[in-house]
Structure 1
C-alpha cells in the first residue's frame, strides 16, 4: 500500500521549505503527498519578505475536502501562522484524523524571520500538541512553548524533554542542533523511554528547510513502521539530503537540501 500523507503548512516559492519541501519529501520516501495551505509566503533562500494568512474557514475547507474523499494515513502540521488557524486545524483533526499526526511547531525561519504570530503559541500548545503522535521542536521553539530559556547542555535538554512530554504528545523529538557541540544530539522521548540520537555535524550552509523535511520524512514513514524506526530513518534521509545539497545551485543564501539525492544520481556532475 502506498501511504497517503497530508501536509498542512505554508508555502515557499523557491521550493526548499514549507509545503513544497514536504511534498518532495513524501515523494522521495514513497508516499503520495497532499497539501492544505495555511499561508502564502514570499520567501527565498535569503529570507522571508512577507506572508498572507488564509482565512481559517478556508483552511478548514481544504482539510475537509481531502478527508471527505481520500484515505489519509498520516498528517504533518507545519506553519499555522495564528491562533484561529491553530484552532481550526485542531478541530478538523479531532473530527477526521484516525492516523498519526506529526506537529512541527514552525515559529522562525532559518533566516531568523518569524512565521508564527504571538497569539498562536498558546493555541498551538493547548490545541494541537495534545493531538500529536510526535512533535519535532528545535531548542528555541521548545523554549517558546515552555516559556523558559533555551537549554545550554544535554542535561538541560533532558529536563526540557520531560516538560514537553507533559504537554500531551505521544512522542517528542527534541532537536539539539542549536547546542554548540561537535555532534548534534537529538532526544526522542515517548512510552518506551528516552533515546539519544547523535549525529556528526555537516559543514554546509545549504540547510534551508531542514526542520520541515525531517518532520515530513517521519510523517511519510509512520504509516509503515514504528515511531523509533521512522525517526531513525528520517534522520538518515535528512543527513543524506544535507550531504548532497552542494549538488544543487539554488539561490544565493541558505540553499535547500537535496530531497531527491537518491534518485538524481550524478545530477551535480558537470
Structure 2
C-alpha cells in the first residue's frame, strides 16, 4: 500500500519492483496520487478510503496475503482502513515505511497522519523504515 509517483522513482512502482525481485507476487493498492517530478512532490491527494477498503476486502477474499508493506498513506482516514484490515490478519508481518516528506522536501503526511502512524500502525509493525528526516519528525 503506497502512493503513486508519476516520475517513477519511488512509491508503489518501487515496491512492485522490490517485491517482484524477491520472487513474490505484489498486490499493489494505491493510497494516494501525487503531483510529482524527479525533484519534488508538488501536491498529493489520498484515494477514497472506502475504495481502498473494497480493494483490500476483494484481494483478501481471493489471494493469500503473506505480508503487508506500507509507504505514503495519504491521510489518517486511509490509515484507519489499513489498521482495520490488519486487525483481520494478526499473524501477517507488516513493514511500515512512514513516508512523510519527499526527498525534495514536499509534504506527504500531516500531523494527524503522523500521530496515527505512531499510535496505531507502528505497534503492528515488525519493521519500521523511516529515513533520517522522518525519524526526527516522529
For the superposition of Structure 1 and Structure 2, which TM-score range results when normalised by the shorter chain? over 0.9
Residues 44, 74 of structure 2: 8 Å contact kept? no
Q: Secondary structure at the match of 2:88?
A: helix
Residue 59 of structure 1 is aligned with which of 52, 63, 83? 52
Higher-Rg structure is 1
Measure how far apart 1:97 and its partner are. 5.1
What is the Cα-based RMSD across aligned positions, in Å?
A: 1.3
Measure how far apart 1:142 and its partner are. 1.7
Residue 127 of structure 2 is aligned with which of 131, 134, 143? 134
Structure 2: distance between partners of 1:96 and 1:58: 19
- Evaluate the alpha carbon distance shift between residue 76 and residue 124 of structure 1 in structure 2; reply closer, same or farther with a 3 A threshold: same
Q: What is the aligned partner in structure 2 of residue 21 from structure 1?
A: 14
Q: What is the aligned partner in structure 2 of residue 46 from structure 1?
A: 39
Q: Secondary structure at the match of 2:111?
A: coil
Higher relative contact order (CA 8 A, sep 6+): 2
1:103 equivalent to 2:96? Answer yes
Structure 2 unaligned residues grouped into runs of 5+? none
1:72 equivalent to 2:45? Answer no
Q: Secondary structure at the match of 2:102?
A: coil
Structure 1 unaligned residues grouped into runs of 5+? 1-7, 146-270
Residues 67, 96 of structure 1: 8 Å contact kept? no
Residues 72, 97 of structure 1: 8 Å contact kept? no
TM-score where L is the length of structure 1: 0.49
Q: Secondary structure at the match of 1:34?
A: coil
1:167-246 to structure 2, matched below 5 A, reads none
Deviations 1:233-266 (A, max 9, x none): xxxxxxxxxxxxxxxxxxxxxxxxxxxxxxxxxx
1:32 equivalent to 2:25? Answer yes
Q: How many corresponding residue pairs?
A: 138
